[in-house]
């Protein structure tokens, strides 16, 4: 068998495009390198000629895209001598922070909205030994507290306001270009704080520029962490489309939302931290924002699970729900290639999955006869 080097995570892979030094101690769990799956059955259902791919970020080590940002944020926190990290979270950031802190041997403090995070995510934060602080308030209140605490407590904030987070997350765009040989025409993402849509745009712009330079205004967000400045765009870049849950859609309202609500708890966010950057991304790329109802989100989650064998969490399905609608109405024209990011794994939120499933679980006698009769009754 030919020797193939072990995959050791996205910082190792893209170190010349990331703010690390040769002797930086990398805190990694082998994140990144996630599958880009071409949908086989769903596109036919639209009646349109489109290529839809899903980037299955749920297959990262802690089950969400947050690992891409967290490997960078924790690597840099450790390099800078920090002994503790802190974040507010709707769940996935807390799971990633807890895991990478455990890996690094430092402490993690996570603020989560009381009763409003999915069970799998809570289990992760607890299991990895984070100090879990449930607040009687939502994510936005937690974020405000974290910003204030971060001013004088000896903790590093690892929410996406930490610029290293977006640097790690931009690598998802690199992977997509490398697999498709070009950028897709449209890239659809669920939007909460809008960090990920911003990070992807930074990635596409860097990769498509002549010199690996940053060429986007949104990239001002890198705060100097891109290697260079300037450079002409040579490759294609996608239109970036951000979908929000209707009950927490500040980008659609055009202003912050104070009491966001949605079944997709991961994106139950009313005060996005990357507000200005995301508007720039939308403008620069020629994309748009839209919203999906909870019903549309759950239907897309189920469609993917039933028709393609891909299980993502509700928030993640928002990207496909929106894309299917915009393919249907022609905003995404025929002949397009579309990538939908599936930000988190379906196992994160088993309660919502079981609640919405219409497939009955049958209980029968433990006999050959009863099992056979179930099979005969249920053959497709
Ligand atoms: C599955 O964990 O904000 O627009 O605190 O978990 O970059 O915020 C999660 C966000 C989409 C939105 N899908 O990404 C947190 C948190 C899933 C998520 C988003 C989140 P951004």
Q: What is the DSSP string of 272-290?
A: -TTHHHHHHHHHHHT-EEE
Q: How far apart are the C-alpha atoms of 201 and 199, rounded to whole Å? A: 5
Q: What are the two backbone dihedrals, phi and then psi, of residue 34, each rounded to the nearest 5 degrees?
A: -85, 155
* Structural tokens at position 313: 């969490």
CA of 194 to the centre of ligand 1 (A): 8
Mean model confidence pLDDT for the chain = 93
Confidence at 177, pLDDT banded by 50, 70, 90: very high
How far, in Å, CA of 92 to CA of 31, rounded? Answer: 14
Q: Is 92 in the pocket of ligand 1 (CB under 6 A)?
A: yes
Any atom of ligand 1 within 6 Å of the Cβ of 318: no
Residue 76: pLDDT over 80:
yes
Q: Where are the alpha helices (DSSP H) in the chain?
A: 10-13, 42-46, 66-79, 92-104, 119-127, 139-152, 163-169, 171-180, 195-208, 250-253, 275-285, 294-308, 314-328, 350-356, 368-378
Give residue 222 CA to ligand 1 midpoint distance, Å.
19
Residue 234 pLDDT greater than 90, yes or no: no
Residue 65's nearest CA partner among 168, 182, 205 is 168
Q: Return the pLDDT at 281.
A: 97
pLDDT in tens, 92-135: 999 999 999 999 999 999 999 999 999 999 999 999 999 999 99
pLDDT average, residue stretch 61-84: 98
- Distance separating alpha carbons of residues 275 and 114, to the nearest angstrom: 25
Report d(CA 320, CA 237) in Å as an integer. Answer: 20
Considering only residues 236 and 33, tell me which one the structure prediction assigns the higher pLDDT.
33
Each residue of 285-337: pLDDT tens digit? 999 999 999 999 999 999 999 999 999 999 999 999 999 999 999 999 999 99
| pLDDT score, position 227 | 43
Q: Predicted confidence band at 229 (pLDDT cuts at 50, 70, 90)? A: very low
Burial class (CB in 10 A: 0-12, 13-18, 19+), 217: middle
- Does 244 score more than 90 pLDDT? yes
Centre of ligand 1 from the C-alpha of residue 65, in Å: 8
Instruction: Give the three-state DSSP class for 107.
Output: strand
Contacts of range 294-302, beta carbons closer than 8 Å, 24 or more positions apart: 294/245, 294/246, 294/247, 294/262, 294/263, 294/264, 296/321, 296/325, 297/245, 297/262, 297/263, 297/264, 297/321, 298/263, 298/352, 298/356, 300/324, 301/346, 301/353, 301/356, 302/356, 302/357
pLDDT at 360 over 90: no
195 lines ligand 1 (CB under 6 A): yes
CB count within 10 Å of CB 92 equals 33
CA distance 269 to 249: 8
| pLDDT the model gives residue 3 | 79
SS3 content of the chain, % helix, strand, coil (to 5): 45, 15, 40
- The predicted pLDDT at position 216 comes to 55
Q: How far apart are CA 201 and CA 203, in angstroms?
A: 5
Strands 186-190 and 337-342: parallel
Probe residue for ligand 1, chosen from 90, 192, 279, 318 as the CB with the greatest number of ligand atoms within 8 Å: 192
pLDDT for residue 230 is more than 60: no
Q: Which residue has the higher pLDDT, 257 or 230?
A: 257
Q: Cβ(194) to ligand 1 under 6 A?
A: yes
pLDDT digits (tens, 9 = 90+) for 337-351: 999 999 999 999 999
The residues pairing with 84 across neighbouring beta strands, listed in sequence order, are 107
Q: Tell me what the mean pLDDT of segment 68-97 comes to.
A: 98
pLDDT tens digits, residue range 198-215?
999 999 998 877 555 555
């Amino acid at each position: 068998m030919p020797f193939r080097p072990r995959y050791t995570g996205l910082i190792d892979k893209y170190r010349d495009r990331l703010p690390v030094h040769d002797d930086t101690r990398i805190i990694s769990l082998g994140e990144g390198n996630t599958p880009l799956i071409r949908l086989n059955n769903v596109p036919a259902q639209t009646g349109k000629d489109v290529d839809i791919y899903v980037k299955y970020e749920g297959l990262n080590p802690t089950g969400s895209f947050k690992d891409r940002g967290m490997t960078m944020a924790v690597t840099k926190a450790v390099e800078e001598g920090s002994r503790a990290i802190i974040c507010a979270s709707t769940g996935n950031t807390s799971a990633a922070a807890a895991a990478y802190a455990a890996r690094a041997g430092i402490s993690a403090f996570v603020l989560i909205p009381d009763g409003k995070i999915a069970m799998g995510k809570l289990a992760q934060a607890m299991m990895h030994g984070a100090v879990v602080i449930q607040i009687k308030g939502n994510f936005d209140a937690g974020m405000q507290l974290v910003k204030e605490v971060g001013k004088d407590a000896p903790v590093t904030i690892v929410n996406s306001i930490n610029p290293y987070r977006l640097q790690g997350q931009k690598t998802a765009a690199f992977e997509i270009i490398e697999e498709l040989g070009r950028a897709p025409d449209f890239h659809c993402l669920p939007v909460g704080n809008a960090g990920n849509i911003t990070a992807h745009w930074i990635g596409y712009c860097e990769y498509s520029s002549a010199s690996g330079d940053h060429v986007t205004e949104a990239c001002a967000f890198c705060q100097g962490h891109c290697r260079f400045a300037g450079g002409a765009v040579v490759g294609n870049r996608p239109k970036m489309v951000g979908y929000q849950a209707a009950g927490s859609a500040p980008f659609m309202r055009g202003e912050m939302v104070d009491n966001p609500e949605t079944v997709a708890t991961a994106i139950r966010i009313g005060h996005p931290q990357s507000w200005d950057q995301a508007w720039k991304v939308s403008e620069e790329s020629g994309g748009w924002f839209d919203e999906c109802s909870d019903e549309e989100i759950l239907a897309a989650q189920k469609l993917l699970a039933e028709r393609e064998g891909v299980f993502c969490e509700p928030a993640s399905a928002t990207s496909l729900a929106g894309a299917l609608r915009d393919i249907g109405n022609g905003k995404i024209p025929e002949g397009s290639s579309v990538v939908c990011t599936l930000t988190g794994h379906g196992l994160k939120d088993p309660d919502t999955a079981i609640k919405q499933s219409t497939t009955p679980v049958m209980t029968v006698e433990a006999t050959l006869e009863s099992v056979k009769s179930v099979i005969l009754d249920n053959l497709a």
